[in-house]
Amino acid sequence: MKPTDIGQPDYFHKVVDCQWACPAHTPVPEYIRLIAAGRYSDAYMINWQSNVFPGVLGRTCDRPCEPACRRSRVEDGESKEPVAICRLKRVAADYKDDVTARMPKPAAKKNGKRIACVGAGPASLTVARDLAPLGYDVTVFDGEKKAGGFIRSQIPKFRLPEEVIDEECGYILDLGVEFRGGQRIDSLKDLLGQGYDAIFVGSGAPRGRDLDIPGRKEAAKNIHIGIDWLSSVSFGHIDKIGRRVIVLGGGNTAMDCCRSSRRLGGEDVKVIVRSGFEEMKASPWEKEDAMHEGIPILNFLVPKEFKHVDGKLVGMVFEKVKAVYDERGRRSLVPSGEPDQHFECDDVLVAVGQENAFPWIERDAGIEFDKWGLPVLNETTFQSTLPNVFFGGDAAFGPKNIIWAVAHGHEAAVSIDRFCNGEDVAKRPPPLVNLMSQKMGIHEWSYDNAISNDVRYKVPLKDVSIALKNIKVEVELGFDPQLAFKEAQRCLNCDVQTVFTAGQCIECDACVDICPMDCITFTDNGDEAELRGRLNAPATNRTQDLYVSAELKTKRVMVKDEDVCLHCGLCAERCPTGAWDMQKFFLNTAKAGPGCRDRHLNNLAPLRQAA
């Protein structure tokens, strides 16, 4: 193998599994260390820079970071669980001081460019936050009176209190963003005619899929579309439901529907899904939360018919199916031959998916749509076929989640900033990267390198009997500072990198002997597949890189398997020559502003060459 080029920003970025997995590339270990140090406001601001809604995401994020977390690959015994990254983020939001003074100020001088954002969800608000402080005149339109979009309308208040939404939307609107609530855009052509320099469409995927089976029309009064029902609950238009409720669908919306039903009078609430329990789209923890509230999840049942008597829903019939896999591993659901199952019910909530809908975009406005009804976009710039119109969030590539919407917003803001300055949007700015030694003394590092053996701490919950009585009572109490500290200590500090300098190495084997995970091997070079098999411990996880040094004096190379490294720094502590050093890798994605523009990038190029 060739020596690893650690100058490549992606190399060490990939080692920080959580940050790499986060669509917004939040520097996770950095803020977790700040939480452990009790510096909640600093932790909050790091989050705010990257993901804009720390308080909201700390309660609701889909947390792609957690399945990626290295901790779950190195723990011993029964429990192999990631660090509770998401809930630690909430700790930063819960215990921070007043951060208003640390927020950017509204631009003192406007730059004369006007931007319209359609929809006031997380994607649009991110664009507004990134652009407004730069002097852009940003106007955000939304059909609802308050900003937040699906964050406000879809997520039940027992998961996300209204104050948190108000606070974090407020930070953005306070940047001098003009918010026009209650003003739904119903014509793109009309908006185009108003002379905006750029338009950002962050209108979400607002249409819930329906279920067209016998009885749907006749029993319509007691059959509700999940996302519409949730927003009616959210805005107080609906405050009760029948005693027996069936929720159809296996996604997170279905979980919100069933748990909301339990709080509005549903005593016998069940979730019924077509697929198997394991293949459900809902996050495992959301399924767990629903079951914790006494909601059974029944699987492999395909809805066949709504039963009704005198125009009133009385039950549903399902066909029992089983999963069959073909030789290519594709699944199909085939009838199992068992008799149909009948469940009595008073109400049904249909949460079987969402669709994009752009009834307000005239098809001759210049924006091309693909065969699925989604706009044709450049995947990195988010620019549509109309150069001054950009898309992001669920409106761009279909329903995803908040953190993806935020990531889209950042990228679209960069595009808009370059576009409005007459620069090529296809040219993307590199991230800001820094590597800094953490050595303080012979045995001292500026991070806590002791490894905690604790297993994941559970977030304390409100007692179910209290929680189910009031739909506005938040179920999760969040970590208290003591629990937060202990959970934060489980973080392995994967951003503190093991950096190897071949020229310094005397091949004394000290690092090999001390490494608790047998990550390091000095051996003859070879090709990757072969090398992986003959290291001190086999490197079977091919998604994790091998760090290979230049040739050493004995003609061997140092090979480190990044997979299960604890970042404990013992290799560097035992290294007599400083060939190993622990260096903190910091990466911030480029945001809109002078740093993303040609003048800056052109200055950067010769520097990089010199390095």
Partner 1 sequence: MTYLAKPKLHHPTLAKNKRGFTRRDYEGPVSTLCAGCGHDSISAAIIQAAFNLDIEPHRVAKLSGIGCSSKTPTYFLGQSHGFNTVHGRMPSVLTGANLANRDLIYMGVSGDGDSASIGLGQFAHAMRRGVNMVYIVMNNGVYGLTKGQFSATADKGSKAKKGAINNDSPVDMVGLALQLGATFVARSFSGDKAQLVPLIEAAIAHQGAAFIDVVSPCVAFNNHPGSTKSYDYVREHNEAVNRIDFMPHREEITTEYEPGTVQEVVQHDGSVLRLRKLHTDYDPNNRIAAMNFLQEHQARGEVVTGLLYVDPDPEDLHIYANTVPVPLNALGERELCPRAAALEKINASLR
In the complex, the residues that contact partner 1 under the rule CB under 8 A are 73-76, 442-443, 449-451, 453, 506-510, 512-514, 516-519, 537-538, 540, 553-554, 564, 566, 568, 570, 573-577
State which residue, 214 or 538, has the beta carbon closest to partner 1: 538
Least separation in angstroms between CB 88 and partner 1: 21
Closer by beta carbon to partner 1, 1 or else 74: 74
Residue closer to partner 1, measured from CB, 178 or 448:
448
Tokens at residue 151, please? 């964050």
Q: How far apart are CA 221 and CA 60, in angstroms?
A: 31
Dihedral, 396, 399, 401, 405 alpha carbons, nearest 10: 10
Nearer to partner 1, 264 or 512 (CB): 512
In angstroms, what is the minimal distance from the CB of 28 to partner 1?
20
Backbone torsion region of residue 594, taken as left when φ is above 0, otherwise alpha when ψ lies between -120 and 50, otherwise beta: alpha
> Which of 291/508 has CB closer to partner 1?
508
Instruction: Round to whole Å and give the CA distance between 200 and 203.
Output: 9
Q: Which residues contact 472 (CB under 8 A, 6 or more apart)?
A: 157, 158, 161
Taking the C-alpha atoms of 162, 163, 165 and 171 in order, what is their torsion angle to the nearest 10 degrees? Answer: 160
Give Cβ neighbours of residue 506 (< 8 Å, ≥ 6 apart).
Answer: 553, 576, 577, 579
Sign of CA dihedral 39, 41, 44, 49: negative
**Residue 526 CB-half CA count within 13 A:** 12
Torsion-angle region of 101 (φ positive above 0: left; ψ -120 to 50: alpha; else: beta): alpha
From the CB of 528, what's the least distance to partner 1, in Å?
A: 18
Tell me how far, at minimum, the Cβ of 517 lies from partner 1, in Å. 5
Residue closer to partner 1 by CB (options 153, 449) is 449
Minimum Å distance from CB 60 to partner 1? 31
Q: Could you tell me the smallest distance in angstroms from the CB atom of residue 579 to partner 1?
A: 10
What single DSSP character describes residue 456? Answer: P
| Choice between 194 and 453, CB closer to partner 1 | 453
Least distance between partner 1 and beta carbon 442 (Å): 8
Cβ atoms of 433 and 240 within 8 Å: the answer is no
Min CB(503)–partner 1 separation in Å: 14
Beta carbon of residue 450, minimum distance to partner 1 (angstroms, whole number): 6
HEC readout, 236-291: CCCCCCCCEEEEECCCHHHHHHHHHHHHCCCCEEEEECCCCCCCCCCCHHHHHHHH
Question: Which CB atom, from 14 or from 73, has the smaller least distance to partner 1?
Answer: 73
CB of 271 to partner 1, least distance (A): 35
- Report the residue number, 151 or 565, with the smaller CB distance to partner 1: 565
- How far does Cα 452 stand from its chain's mean position? 26
* Angle (deg, nearest 10), helices 85-95 and 28-36: 50
∠ CA 402-407-409, nearest 5°, is 95
Measured from the CB of residue 506, what is the shortest distance to partner 1 in angstroms? 5
- Where residue 180 falls (left for φ over 0; alpha for ψ -120 to 50; beta otherwise) is beta
How far apart, in whole angstroms, are the C-alpha atoms of residue 5 and residue 12?
Answer: 10
Least CB distance to partner 1 at residue 554 (A): 6
Closest CB to partner 1 among 279 and 524?
524
Closer of 474 and 545 to partner 1 (Cβ): 545
d(CA 108, CA 584): 36
- 75/423 with CB nearer partner 1: 75
Cross-strand bridge partners of residue 305: 317
Token pair belonging to 79: 């429990």
